[in-house]
Amino acid sequence: MVRTQFSKPIKRLRADSAGEYKSGGLKEFLASQGTLLELSCTDTPQQNGVAERKHRHIMETTRALLLSSLVPKRFWGEAVLTSVYVINRIPSSIIGGISPFERLYNSSPNYSELRIFGSTCFVSLPKVERDQLSQKTAICVFLGYGIGQKGSTLSEQVVPEETCPTADSTASNSAPTAPNSSESIVPKLRRSTRERIPSKRYLDFHCFLSTILSVYEPKSYHEACLDPLWQAAMKEELNALEKTHTWDLVELPVGKSVVDCKWVYKVKTKSDGSVERYKARLVAKGFTQEYGIDYEETFAPVARMTSVRTLIAVASIRGWDMSQMDVKNAFLNGDLHEEVYMKPPPGLSCQTNQVCKLRRALYGLKQAPRAWFEKFSSTMLDSGFVQSAHDSTLFIRQSSRGIVLLLLYVDDMVITGDDDLGIKDIKNHLSRTFEMKDLGPLRYFLGIEVNSSSHGYVLSQVKYASDHISKAGLSDNKIVDTPIEMNVKLKATDGGLLTNATLYRQLVGSLIYLTVTRLDISHAVQVVSQFMTAPRTIHFC
């Protein structure tokens, strides 16, 4: 194929010392083509490192496909072919951020044809195989892509529908059924006198709904490149970095260390859960920085929750309007005093020997929060504001017209007061100094919904609570009137150990934050917080 399709002669064939490569027939064929055969020594895979590493990549992908889809191991061949098919269509930084397919054929692959390995699909049955009252489709499982034809590899005898993961099955601690057991085989259709039990797959309505409506957040740069929405988000971020002149492309000086970077993806939602925007952020891996060399002071204050509640309470009592603003790429406004070099991010065009010498405090650097707060606080002080003695993130300006209060939490700020002209003035000044976004009246701040009425402001965390209820798998549990039963006494030795102690700790931490607006659960949260070291099943239920 290489010779006939691409007019490229194969000069060398490098392989291990397996018997099939030592056969006389292969040697004679290669000799007739003018191709040299190079064999590595026995038990020395490092002599053929490129092929061995790619083989490992393919097998790791194959293993992930089989385990995630619950497809039996006997279909490993189909999984291998699917892995190769997908890998060849994933952008690679080695070849300039394009896929091997595009490099070979000089055209972009059609990502709309990609399907989830092991997913349920429906095949239309030919009319000759059915009558007017028969089913028009057959349920199959997707096992790969057709070779040399526009089709797919499907099978009816792989995994029964009942073994597909659901909310109930993923929350269960029971051991999975062995792939080759009799329960893993779809029985032939037969008449039965038993009462038909509906499939459990979609009994959980919330699970079904989340399958349709959930928003996917990529875990890597390669995954993000498959979605035009995330591609646009990354392009927007790079444009912002170039606009602020975040770095200079230079050669790495001798003796200097370099910091790596990565892309982080987050879907920002509104208070009602709808998508606000797709945000891609480039962050430096600051954990590789060395104290005294590329960073020193790192502390930066954030608004205390007591300050947030007090500010809203004062505004409610005095009848002040509250507005909210956001600083776009806030950390990039901070001045970087240390000399920091970073690897070029994926997607940036530059020479292979160049690195980024940072001029701005990129997200992820240890000193970035401090640099940003110093920049913002100096801007506020120059505008006539003073910092509160109790919370340095609260800025106050009094004049003959009235008072203006501004509370900052990293890059989000709340503004209130009775000096309407002063509020307008500081908004305009901040918009000229930084790239700001005016979010209008205060509605959603730090995961807290703020609803205004004629009687004041009402704080709630409905979305925050519902998100973590879903995370805990408790969406369909019975609703009760009290957070904890009366006179309940939990012990550290009752019940079995939880298999996922990390999830327990995460949920308890979320409950602690929920007490900001739900003081009635404070005692219950205090009780479950006592078992963070070794949580047990009785503590979770």
Least confidently predicted of 142-151, 179-188, 223-232, 460-469: 179-188
- Give residue 157's pLDDT band: very low, low, confident or very high (50, 70, 90): low
Kindly report whether the global pTM for this prediction surpasses the value 0.85.
Answer: no
Pair 365, 473 in one domain = no
pLDDT of residue 175: 42
Residue 188 CA, chain-centre distance (Å), reads 41
Residue 66 lies in a domain: no
| Measured distance CA(361)–CA(347) in Å, rounded | 20
Q: What is the DSSP string of 313-368?
A: HHHHHHT--EEEEEETTGGGGSBP-S--EEPPPTT----TTEEEEE-B--TT-TTH
Residue 90 lies in a domain: no
Residue 49 lies in a domain: no
Residue 10 lies in a domain: yes
What separation in angstroms does the CA of 532 have from each of 152, 214, 361, 371, 473? 49, 30, 36, 35, 19
pLDDT of residue 273: 65
Pair 337, 484 in one domain = no
* Final residue belonging to a domain, choices 442, 458, 474: 458
* β-strand partners of 409: 412
Pair 360, 335 in one domain = yes
| Measured distance CA(205)–CA(457) in Å, rounded | 34
Residue 203 lies in a domain: no
Residue 211 lies in a domain: no
* β-strand partners of 284: 261
Which of these, 151, 81, 165, 163, lies nearest to 123 by C-alpha position?
A: 151
Tell me the two tokens of residue 283: 């962050």
Residue 164 has pLDDT above 70, yes or no: no
Q: Is the Cβ–Cβ distance between 388 and 414 less than 8 Å?
A: no
List b or e across 123-154, with b for residues whose CB sees 16 or more CB atoms inside 10 angstroms: eeeeeeeeeeeeeeeeebbbbbbeeeeeeebb
Mean of the pLDDT values across residues 96-111?
A: 87
Per-residue pLDDT tens digits for 439-476: 999 988 888 898 888 888 989 988 888 888 888 888 77
Q: Is the Cβ–Cβ distance between 46 and 23 less than 8 Å?
A: no
| Coil, strand or helix at 290 | coil
Pair 523, 448 in one domain = no
Q: Is the Cβ–Cβ distance between 158 and 199 less than 8 Å?
A: no
Per-residue pLDDT tens digits for 319-354: 999 999 999 889 989 888 889 999 999 888 888 889
Residue 54 lies in a domain: no
Domain that holds residue 370: 221-458
Structural domain count of the chain = 3
**Residues of the chain with pLDDT > 90: what percent?**
32
117-120 own/partner pairs: CB under 8 Å, 24+ apart: 117/65, 117/68, 117/69, 117/71, 117/79, 117/82, 117/142, 117/143, 117/144, 118/65, 118/68, 118/69, 118/70, 118/71, 118/142, 118/143, 118/158, 118/159, 119/69, 120/161, 120/164
Pair 466, 514 in one domain = yes
| Measured distance CA(105)–CA(101) in Å, rounded | 6
Residue 301 lies in a domain: yes
Mean of the pLDDT values across residues 379-407?
A: 94
Pair 386, 501 in one domain = no
* Final residue belonging to a domain, choices 399, 434, 458: 458
Pair 355, 421 in one domain = yes
Residue 324 region by backbone torsions, left for phi larger than 0, else alpha for psi between -120 and 50, else beta: beta
| Measured distance CA(204)–CA(208) in Å, rounded | 6
Q: At residue 315, what is the residue type? A: A
Pair 453, 483 in one domain = no
| Measured distance CA(387)–CA(369) in Å, rounded | 18
Pair 383, 468 in one domain = no
**Residues of the chain with pLDDT > 70: what percent?**
88
Per-residue pLDDT tens digits for 286-326: 998 888 888 888 899 999 999 999 999 999 999 999 999 99
Pair 480, 389 in one domain = no
Which of these, 142, 141, 174, lies nearest to 160 by C-alpha position?
A: 141
Tell me which H or E stretch contains 116. none
Q: How many CB atoms neighbour CB 374 within 10 A? A: 16
Least confidently predicted of 56-60, 156-160, 293-297: 156-160
Pair 447, 474 in one domain = no
Least confidently predicted of 56-65, 147-156, 302-311, 403-412: 147-156
* Final residue belonging to a domain, choices 458, 475, 490: 458
| Measured distance CA(479)–CA(518) in Å, rounded | 16
Pair 383, 396 in one domain = yes
